[in-house]
Amino acid sequence: MINPLTLKSWPPYAVGVGIGVLSWFAFATADHPLGISTAFENTAALTEKAIVPEVEQSNGYFAAKAAEGKPPKIGWEWMLVVGVFLGAFLSSRLSGDRSPETVPALWRWRFGGSPAKRLAVAFLAGAVMIFGARLAQGCTSGHGISGSLQLAASSWVFSAVFFAVATATAFALYGKEGAAYV
């Protein structure tokens, strides 16, 4: 019998059912939706407070979050992010589906093979992406999955906007011809 844990991929609908059921588990056990980007904001806030303690007074962020009952902390969501790394590591080790890739094929076709260029743009894009997620208070997990499944109006607006802009960006960068490289 084939061990499913050593397979390189599972059918997308099965993975979707798994994530749906996992969200029941998260709500029932931790009273928490699945979400990733809040942990980055918490880490940033704790880092700034550690380096410049005065920000706790000068930046209204800290008082506002404390008033909401959500002060920056190392909590459930922070460990969720650590777990995502470990789970993906474990899954890829079990199946051998590992990649040390720096420059993806599609990127190479369009922008060339320079690792420095790819990494510099990845850094900037990561910064823009999380800045946007925090402006909207959620990402693909917090809004896209957890918010949408709660039928939150904010999450449906966010999902429609991000999908439209992401699609427009993809066609602006790579055009129809790009599809041959993915």
Return the residues of window 36-75 that contact other proteins according to CB under 8 A: 36-37, 40-41, 43-48, 59-61, 73-75
Q: Which residues contact 144 (CB under 8 A, 6 or more apart)?
A: 138, 155, 158, 159, 162
Q: Does 114 bind other proteins (CB under 8 A)?
A: no
State which of residues 66, 112, 114, 122 lies at the interface with other proteins (CB under 8 A): 122
Closest CA to 38 of 124, 130, 129, 127: 130
Least distance from C-beta 36 to other proteins, angstroms?
Answer: 4
Least distance from C-beta 51 to other proteins, angstroms?
Answer: 10
> How many residues interact with other proteins (rule CB under 8 A)?
131
Least distance from C-beta 70 to other proteins, angstroms?
Answer: 11
- What is the biggest distance separating any 2 CA atoms in the chain, rounded to whole angstroms? 62
For tokens 């922070």, name the residue: 78
- Mark residues 136-165: x for contact with other proteins by CB under 8 A, - for none: xxxxxxxxxxxxxxxxxxxxxxxxxxxxxx
State which of residues 1, 2, 22, 112 lies at the interface with other proteins (CB under 8 A): 22
| Torsion of Cα atoms, 139 then 144 then 145 then 149, to 10° | 130
Q: How far apart are CA 33 and CA 149, in angstroms?
A: 10
State which of residues 2, 21, 109, 113 lies at the interface with other proteins (CB under 8 A): 21
Q: Does 109 bind other proteins (CB under 8 A)?
A: no
Q: Does 100 bind other proteins (CB under 8 A)?
A: yes
What sign does the CA torsion over 169, 158, 18, 86 have?
positive
